[in-house]
Amino acid sequence: MAPSVASTLQSHKTWLGVATVTVFGLLVLSSNGGTRVDYHEEALLKRGSLAGGLHPARPPPFVGTFKRRQETEVCSTDACKSFADSVIKSRALNYTGIDPCTDFATYTCGNWWDTHDYRDDQSSVGTLSVMSDVNTAIMRAILESPYSDNSTFTGDDLEADKEIFDKMIAAYDSCMDTDTIDALGAKPLQDLFAKYEEESSDFDLKTTDGLTNALIWLLKYGGSGIISAQTWADDKNPNITTIGLGNGAFGMDSKEYYNDTESVANYTVAIVGMFDILFGEEKHDTHASLAKELIDLETALIYATPDPSKAGDVEYYYNVQNLTQVDASIPEISVSKYLKAFVPSNYTLSTAIVLTPEYFPAISPIIANASAETLDAYIKWVLIQNWVTRLSNDANAPYRRFQNELTGKDPEAIGERWTTCLADVDANLPWIESAFFVQVAFSPEAKIFGDRIISDIEDIFMEKLQGYEWMSASVKTKAIQKVLNMVEKIGYPDKSPNVTDPVALSNLYAPLAISNTSYFDNGLAYVNFSTTNSWKALLHPTDKDIWFMTTPTVNAYFNPPSNEIAFPAGIMQQPLFNLDLPEYVSYGAFGAVAGHELTHSFDNSGSHYDENGAYTDWWDNSTLANFEKKTSCFVDQYSKYSIVGPTGESLNVNGELTLGENIADGGGLNAAFAAWKKVDAEKPNPGLTGLEEYTTEQLFYLSFGGVWCGKGRPAELVRRIRVDPHSPMPVRILGTVANQQGFKEAFNCPVKEPTCELW
């Protein structure tokens, strides 16, 4: 796939995360598809069938005691009824026999799991993916309708708005035009290879110059081969944008796959299949031996990469080297020449941050030992992976099949075309798409309510900071200043770019020519546009007004060097966020998300950045020692949770890899609860009709649990255990509530002490 907003993300950002694919130094959000069926329609349908047929045996009553509601007031508006209904439909049918203290995940989501199924093209499904389906349906309607006359723009603004709309539609139409795409088959990529061959006299891969030339050519077409280079806010001096160097991309997500016979066999079939299609089936035997060699090469390379848990370890990855040093660490490639091909001509190239310090020296002998044929096959394969999705479904079948196998889908599964095309617009015209989405899906009232929740949570967080006995006074003072300095981005970008200003967007995208007939050529244009822009960033102070997610995205992030948290309009939707419901609903769900991102600024990675976003040593030794004692509790706690893989094998959560996310989940919910209690104390929230058995505290936690109702196909669960810094969805419920005193009191659990607690 072509570089996108997501692929320019830096690994030192942490995500609330649906699914993330992490290659060290490069964090890519997997794109999510969608259908038009929204949450309520789907759930209603299932409920109908349940009421018609199934009569589950009545379980024995739960013997624990619940605190009964004191207040009699309940909310019975349509909004409240509908929310209560969704809680009931998610909850296990036999919930009365389930102890919330020990299994709040099943308690909250038992029936959700039973009544939600994967689409063929989905490897996981959850509350957030259902929300995303709603957002994609909104975007699809915009993309498949004429320009709306409802716009309030006039004059130049109106002209510009129409122009960017047309650009977006051309991009979408070129992708939807499967007649043209099918007629071309593999030809557009074969033409690109013809170009590669034309220039290959410069690509003597066994010389430093030749290999470097080939890698430069590859990066111009979006491929990170062997190494990667990207622009990057300097962690210690975040006002400056510098260069980050790391390993290249790999065809399989993690080391374990390269040591698994069946995965390697499937991968081999994909490579040979694509080579046969592109370079001729008559060379099948050669392709088979090339595939083996290139997989051996990739295996050696990936085993030289750091463990994924190092991605958030600034101490590990922050290695400033001058280019003489970098070049000396891997003499087979001239990294300085590679970079000179991309940095602006008036940029003074002197140093870079080497994110993978052991990788460069380790791969030098591997590259030296590889034959020219193997390197050539490897480079071609990287290029294929970048462009294959722009070919016809026939021409990319072996690759698609393999991606499906990796994530546990039916090998032949294929998403509806529009989901691919919407994802393409999202990745490549992110701010035009964002502009049209917020026009219909975000209100000024939502922004005000979101602001309030976030600032309530920040206030609580600072109050709590005051009270920690394990922190020294000086660390506390700085920590509070850090919260005071936190930049909150809510809804949509209004500066860089200003998505409410069509003229600004028209100017931004002016250099990008889009045709409505050539999906492949549009891809080439995007790569050139985004590559050029990303290297230009070196000439200016770090732009702290940019966003790393588009507005329909159901996600959120904390970005340490900018000391900022961001919440796209896409996540400020129901069931997480709703102005018409008692506040515990939005505080328990969206508030926990906001608290999660804020807490990231004090997790094992974020805590290293000071109140100005600079990576510094601002923790004294004894406070740090206390901090580390507390974090090691989380590592032990989460390492005990497990998932079940495709062959029934049990696989434990990696407590180190997921540490930062688990800390954020715990602190986020803790702060959200305290913030809501304060709001509730001023004006008590009513209960919910149909759920009178619950206190409002319990409803708060049910709202939280509902966020993480979800499940994944077994192969996908295994993949995420290996690469995803987030715990599996049910574990995000179980582990988080185990760490909440508020929860244990609300449900009158026998042990009130949190299992682990930090913030």
Ligand X SMILES: *[C@@H]1O[C@H](CO)[C@@H](O)[C@H](O)[C@H]1NC(C)=O
The least distance separating Zn ion from the CB of residue 312, rounded to whole angstroms, comes to 10
Q: How far apart are CA 294 and CA 290, in angstroms?
A: 6
The least distance separating ligand X from the CB of residue 370, rounded to whole angstroms, comes to 7
Cβ proximity to ligand X: between 611 and 724 the closer is: 611
Cβ proximity to ligand X: between 437 and 577 the closer is: 437
Residue 445 burial (CB count, 10 A): 9
Binding at 664: pick from ligand X, Zn ion, none (beta carbon under 5-8 Å per type): Zn ion
Element (H, E) at 445: helix 444-467
Please name the amino acid found at residue 291.
A
Binding at 97: pick from Zn ion, ligand X, none (beta carbon under 5-8 Å per type): ligand X
CB 9 within 8 A of CB 29: yes
Beta strands 564-568 and 557-559, pairing class: antiparallel
Residues 6+ apart with CB under 8 A from 51: none
Cβ proximity to Zn ion: between 16 and 427 the closer is: 16
CB 342 within 8 A of CB 531: yes
Binding at 411: pick from Zn ion, ligand X, none (beta carbon under 5-8 Å per type): ligand X
Binding mask 427-466 for Zn ion (x = CB under 5 A): ----------------------------------------
The least distance separating ligand X from the CB of residue 100, rounded to whole angstroms, comes to 12
The least distance separating ligand X from the CB of residue 302, rounded to whole angstroms, comes to 10
Please tell me whether residue 27 adopts helix, strand or coil conformation.
Answer: strand
Binding at 182: pick from Zn ion, ligand X, none (beta carbon under 5-8 Å per type): none
Q: Is 227 in the site for Zn ion (CB under 5 A)?
A: no
Q: How far apart are CA 551 and CA 440, in angstroms?
A: 11
Give φ, ψ of 501 to 5 degrees.
-120, 95
Interacting residues toward ligand X by CB under 6 A: 59, 92, 94, 97-98, 148, 150, 173, 177, 220, 239, 259, 262-263, 266, 322, 324-325, 344, 346, 365-366, 369, 405-406, 411, 440, 494-495, 498, 500-501, 516-517, 528, 531-532, 539, 621
Q: ∠748-752-757 over CA atoms, to 5°?
A: 135
Give alpha helix (H) positions in 91-126. Answer: 104-115
The least distance separating ligand X from the CB of residue 139, rounded to whole angstroms, comes to 11
Q: Is 605 in the site for Zn ion (CB under 5 A)?
A: no
Cβ proximity to ligand X: between 77 and 259 the closer is: 259
Binding at 630: pick from Zn ion, ligand X, none (beta carbon under 5-8 Å per type): none
Cβ proximity to Zn ion: between 20 and 637 the closer is: 20
Q: How far apart are CA 15 and CA 627, in angstroms?
A: 22
| Nearest by Cα to 468 from 619, 637, 615, 673 | 619
The least distance separating ligand X from the CB of residue 325, rounded to whole angstroms, comes to 5
Sign of the torsion angle spanned by Cα atoms 572, 573, 578, 584? negative
CB 689 within 8 A of CB 76: yes
Binding at 366: pick from ligand X, Zn ion, none (beta carbon under 5-8 Å per type): ligand X
Binding at 59: pick from ligand X, Zn ion, none (beta carbon under 5-8 Å per type): ligand X
Q: How far apart are CA 133 and CA 43, in angstroms?
A: 14
Beta strands 74-75 and 687-688, pairing class: parallel
Alpha-carbon dihedral 605, 611, 615, 621, rounded to 10 degrees: -70
Cβ proximity to Zn ion: between 249 and 593 the closer is: 593
CB 755 within 8 A of CB 736: no
Cβ proximity to ligand X: between 64 and 280 the closer is: 64
The least distance separating Zn ion from the CB of residue 727, rounded to whole angstroms, comes to 10
Binders of Zn ion in range 320-349 (CB under 5 A): none
The least distance separating ligand X from the CB of residue 418, rounded to whole angstroms, comes to 14
Q: Is 212 in the site for Zn ion (CB under 5 A)?
A: no
CB 22 within 8 A of CB 256: no
Beta strands 487-491 and 227-233, pairing class: unpaired
Q: How far apart are CA 479 and CA 483, in angstroms?
A: 7
Q: How many CA atoms lie within 13 A of 356 on its CB side?
A: 28
* CA separation, residue 298 to residues 27, 206, 341, 367 (Å): 19, 17, 25, 10
The least distance separating ligand X from the CB of residue 692, rounded to whole angstroms, comes to 23
Return the residue of 277, 664, 688, 717 that touches Zn ion, per CB under 5 A. 664
Cβ proximity to Zn ion: between 453 and 565 the closer is: 565
Q: Is 556 in the site for Zn ion (CB under 5 A)?
A: no
Beta bridge partners of 246: 228
Cβ proximity to ligand X: between 71 and 120 the closer is: 120
Q: Is 280 left (phi over 0), alpha (psi -120 to 50) or beta?
A: left
- Residue 611 has which token pair? 């109140």
Residues 6+ apart with CB under 8 A from 38: 130, 133, 134, 137
Cβ proximity to ligand X: between 106 and 129 the closer is: 106
Give φ, ψ of 351 to 5 degrees.
-135, 165
Cβ proximity to Zn ion: between 125 and 664 the closer is: 664
Chain position carrying tokens 């040593």: 617
- Residue 212 has which token pair? 């470097």
Q: Is 14 in the site for Zn ion (CB under 5 A)?
A: yes
Cβ proximity to ligand X: between 177 and 757 the closer is: 177
Q: How far apart are CA 692 and CA 696, in angstroms?
A: 9
Binding at 14: pick from Zn ion, ligand X, none (beta carbon under 5-8 Å per type): Zn ion
Cβ proximity to Zn ion: between 312 and 686 the closer is: 312
Greatest CA separation found in the chain?
Answer: 82
The least distance separating ligand X from the CB of residue 72, rounded to whole angstroms, comes to 31
The least distance separating ligand X from the CB of residue 321, rounded to whole angstroms, comes to 7
The least distance separating ligand X from the CB of residue 152, rounded to whole angstroms, comes to 10
Cβ proximity to ligand X: between 544 and 596 the closer is: 544
- Residue 59 has which token pair? 């379980």
The least distance separating ligand X from the CB of residue 371, rounded to whole angstroms, comes to 6
Total residues at interface with Zn ion (CB under 5 A): 4
The least distance separating Zn ion from the CB of residue 726, rounded to whole angstroms, comes to 7
- Return residues touching Zn ion (CB under 5 A): 14, 16, 661, 664
